[in-house]
Structure 1
Amino acid sequence: MSLTYFSPVTRVLLPTIFANFSIQIVGWGISAALQTEKIYDLTGSTSFLLCTFLSLAKPFAKNVVQIFHPRQILASGTTVIWASYLGLFLFNRALAHDDKRFERVKKTPSIFLTYWLIQSIWVGMTALPVYLTNSISSEFHPQLGVKDYVGLSIWAFGFTFEVIANYQKQQWRKNIGKDYKHSFISSGLWSLSRHPNYFGECMLWFGSHLLCSSAFSIAVHKQIMSLWISRLAMISPIFVTFLITRVSGIPLLERENDRRLKDVVAYWKYKKETSMFVPTWRRSTAL
């Protein structure tokens, strides 16, 4: 079988990516009309769920026998668990608090659209290994092995780390009440990292890629997946980490915290002593 741009994998992947961009456009249209950002994160999580389902069920692929490999079930199941959790968590937070990222842009539809297109790229690239492993017919999947179980363990560790960090911050914010603007959390996992929730999220996607990747080399060898697509999947967890640590996650929060807590001496001591991303024991320093 000659490999073309419309390989068996691509014929599943393209409709999946198209559905991802479509739901983002619909979300943008509704949000731009109402000038609200409340469903932004929920739409992103919904896109993850839809893309995972489409890549697994393959409703647009012809003559496909639906026999799911355990690797596909694990990869899809973990993605559904994460997307459902994060979607509900962020949606509840959005209902309670305005998102300052959209304070100005939500009133300008053309600029607002940029944020939704960026979210489309995020959804497409982040879980690309999952979409790819789902698009590979079960007959080309090797049996689960050590690599898969290590990947699943890393995913479980990262997900647990993210959930606990978010819960700790949620409880802290509830307890601190009106003093939030002059306080910061530095206990629990937040004593090891200034952004432990983001660290957990990056870890789980590295684990997910490791779990998914076992089938890629066989798919390339059997010419049902092109080599460049398999290499693109390798970039996925690196892309997530870069986006979080250098673009839209940590940099925005760091600037906001620096502005909000500029007169709080304890915050600057905490920032100097505590790792930004990778959890480490706090190093004691003098101001």
Structure 2
Amino acid sequence: MTIWILALWIWGISAVAMTAMCAFSIRARNLGYAGVAWAGLMAVAALLAGLLSEGAALPRTLTAIGGAIWGARLCIYLLHRVLHEDEDGRCRVLRATWGNSRGAWFLFFQVHALAVAVLALPFLAAGSATITVVDGWVLAAIAVWIVAVTGESLADAQLASFRADPGNRGRTCRDGLWAWSRHPNYFFEWLHWFAYVLLATSSPHAWLSWLGPALMLLFLYGVSGIPLAEQQALRSRGEDYRRYQREVSAFTPLPASTNG
């Protein structure tokens, strides 16, 4: 099955799944399920890339395992937040803006479905690689994946622990990685996509692997990630978060500044 046919299949599966999740979310009155479904569908996309791509067994196996573990972990983490915490402030703002417009909800979920298909292309590019032995590129891909998924998991765990303490309500997390970056989870999620760039070096579709880090950087840094998260943080934490913005890097982990 060609890479483009596979991408269309992934888009179709995602569109159907997101339609069902949209209906459920409307009843639950919580847009957060869109992120949960997106992460879960990314895991499915990685598995499909590993099973059905035309590349060698080694890159297909690593793509399936790496993408599925990353997506499943993120899906479970987001589901836990949706089930056990108040709805994310960004989602509440969108719901208040859209009101009872089911069309807006449906479009929101279908944009997520399209994002699954587009971001599956790096998986499919890696799964089309022809390499059959573990060489330097493969070892580098594994190392990047380990660092990225470990970093993202650690950042999520540190934030969850901070938020679980009622005494921290209204305060900004500066624990662990959050003292080095205002969004370390986003940084390591972005870094994770370079694993497929490295795996895809022998693929005829290697250029598609760069869509992962490029689009993720665009979404996280310039569109829906950091801008919306920081707007909500300023609404809820005010001056405490403004001081955090002055002192801590927005994205790349760096030593905190004592100025400002």
TM range (shorter): 0.7 to 0.9
Residue 268 (structure 1) aligned with residue 242 (structure 2): yes
Find 2:3's aligned residue among 1, 4, 9. Answer: 9
Q: Is 1:132 the equivalent of 2:108?
A: no
Deviation of 1:144 (Å): 3.1
2:234 & 2:6 partners in 1: Cα distance? 45
Report how far residue 68 of structure 1 moved: 5.9
1:180 aligns with 2:169: yes
One of 183, 200, 204 as aligned partner of 2:192? 204
Specify the SS of the correspondent of 1:278: coil
Task: Pick the aligned partner of 1:154 from 144, 148, 169.
Answer: 144
Structure-1 residue corresponding to 2:68: 80
TM-score by length of 2: 0.87
CA separation of 1:88 and 1:127: change in aligned 2, threshold 3 A: same
Secondary structure of the residue that 1:284 maps to in structure 2? Answer: coil
User: What are the superposed Cα offsets for residues 137-167 of structure 1, whole Å, 9 maximum, x if unpaired?
Assistant: x8x4453321121122112111111111111
For 1:165, the equivalent position in structure 2 comes to 155
Structure 1 residues 115 and 38, CA gap change in structure 2 (3 angstroms): same
**Structure 2 residue aligned with 1:42:** 36
RMSD: 2.4
- 1:214 Cα shift? 2.1
CA shift, 1:235, in A, is 2.3
- Match 1:107 to one of 94, 100, 105: 100
The share of aligned pairs that are identical, in percent, is 21
Q: Does 1:53 align with 2:47?
A: yes
C-alpha change, 1:95 and 1:107, in structure 2 (3 Å) is farther
Aligned to 2:235: 259
Amino acid at match of 1:100: G
- Relative distance call for 1:280 and 1:34 in structure 2 (3 A) is closer
- CA distance in 2 between counterparts of 1:187 and 1:30 reads 35
Matched, 1:284 2:248: no
> Is the contact made by 1:172 and 1:185 (CA closer than 8 Å) also made in structure 2?
yes
Amino acid at match of 1:184: T
Match of 1:116 in 2: 109
TM-fit CA distance, 1:110: 0.6
1:214-268, Cα deviation, whole Å (9 max, x unpaired): 232xx3xxxxxxxxx643432221101110111111111111111222243xx43
Q: 1:194 aligns with which of 178, 182, 205?
A: 182
Equivalent residue number for residue 240 of structure 1: 216
Measured in 2, the distance between the counterparts of 1:10 and 1:257 equals 40
**Does structure 1 retain, via aligned residues, the 8 Å contact 2:123–2:209?**
no
CA 106–151 in structure 1, closer or farther in 2 if over 3 Å, else same: farther
Partner of 2:21: 27
Contact 1:49 1:80 in 2 (8 A): yes
Q: Which runs of 5+ in 1 are unaligned?
A: 1-6, 220-228
Q: Normalising by the residue count of structure 1, what TM-score does the alignment of the two structures yield?
A: 0.80
Cα shift at 1:115:
1.6
C-alpha separation in 1, matches of 2:44 and 2:162? 33
Q: CA deviation at 1:126?
A: 2.6
Structure 1 residues 113, 106: CA separation in 2 closer, same or farther (over 3 Å shift)? farther
In 2: Cα distance, 1:253 partner to 1:199 partner: 14
Rg (Cα) greater in structure: 1
* Separation in structure 1 between the aligned mates of residue 211 and residue 34 of structure 2, nearest angstrom: 25
Shift of 1:106: 6.7
* Distance in 1 separating the partners of 2:75 and 2:140: 26
Q: Distance in 2 between matches of 1:122 and 1:169?
A: 26
Q: Which moved more, 1:18-27 or 1:98-107?
A: 98-107
SS in structure 2 of the partner of residue 83 of structure 1: helix
2-structure distance, mates of 1:263, 1:74:
45
* Residue 35 to residue 170, structure 1, CA distance change in 2 (3 Å): closer
Query: When the two structures are aligned, how many residues end up with a matched partner?
Result: 255
Contact 2:149 2:192 in 1 (8 A): yes
- Asked if the contact 2:48/2:64 (under 8 Å) is kept, the reply is no
Mean CA deviation greater in 22-31 or 247-256: 22-31
1:12, 1:85 → 2: CA distance?
24
Q: Quick one: structure 1 residues 36 and 253, their matched pair in 2 at CA, closer, same or farther if it must change by over 3 Å?
A: closer
